[in-house]
Amino acid sequence: MLYIGCHLSSSKGFAAMGRQALELGANTFQFFTRNPRGSRAKDLDPADAAAVAACRARAEEAFSKLNGSADPAHDFAVLAATYSDETDRDRHPSGYTFTVGDGTLPAACEEAAQALEEGQFSGVVEADDGFYLILRKHVDLEAVAPDYFDALLQAAADSADISTTRTYADLDVSRFYDELIAARAELDASGGEVA
């Protein structure tokens, strides 16, 4: 997975840094607890700890409602629309389809999803970036086949051992191009006859 992020200021608190990173479309961010030139570390803000506790409580409330539901598969989508803080949820209205290990979801979520059978939902899963509830849905193979093929193709390309031959390394591109242009001109001059 490619990590895209930035340095962020801690002046407005640690929770604000996370929100700012998400607003910028980052999937990671770096911060320093203090200025490397010698200032003291920023104090932990009790409001940040309270924000994490509130996120956990929202996740537990959603889980409680899901656990008491007569139709969890239907209510999962309703609860996700109500409780989810996912910034790009509109791009994934039916949830994420992922290949285990592709980095789409945090490792804790992938592990929880693997343990589920179709139709089952997880308890609250805590990851570095938040809290998750996971519903393992039936996989529509026709719908995911193109993405799966692309993932296999990309995996093959990523693991390919590519090396060049000496001939390739010794290729004089400029000379090759000049000779190609001369050969085309000669072919055009002869009316397409090859000598």
pLDDT digits (tens, 9 = 90+) for 124-180: 888 877 888 888 887 777 877 887 788 788 888 888 888 777 777 788 889 989 999
Distance between CA atoms of residues 72 and 48, nearest Å = 32
> Which of the pair, 176 or 101, is modelled with greater confidence?
176
Q: What are 132's strand-pairing partners? A: 125
Phi and psi at residue 131, in whole multiples of 5°?
-120, 140
Distance between CA atoms of residues 148 and 100, nearest Å = 11
Distance between CA atoms of residues 19 and 31, nearest Å = 13
- Whether pLDDT at 88 is above 60: yes
Distance between CA atoms of residues 139 and 109, nearest Å = 17
Over the stretch 26-71, which tens digit does the pLDDT of each residue have?
767 776 666 667 667 667 677 777 887 888 888 889 889 988 888 8
**What's this model's pTM, rounded to 2 decimal places?**
0.52
Distance between CA atoms of residues 143 and 148, nearest Å = 9
The pLDDT assigned to 54 comes to 85
Amino acid at 48: D
Phi and psi at residue 114, in whole multiples of 5°?
-65, -30
The pLDDT assigned to 130 comes to 81
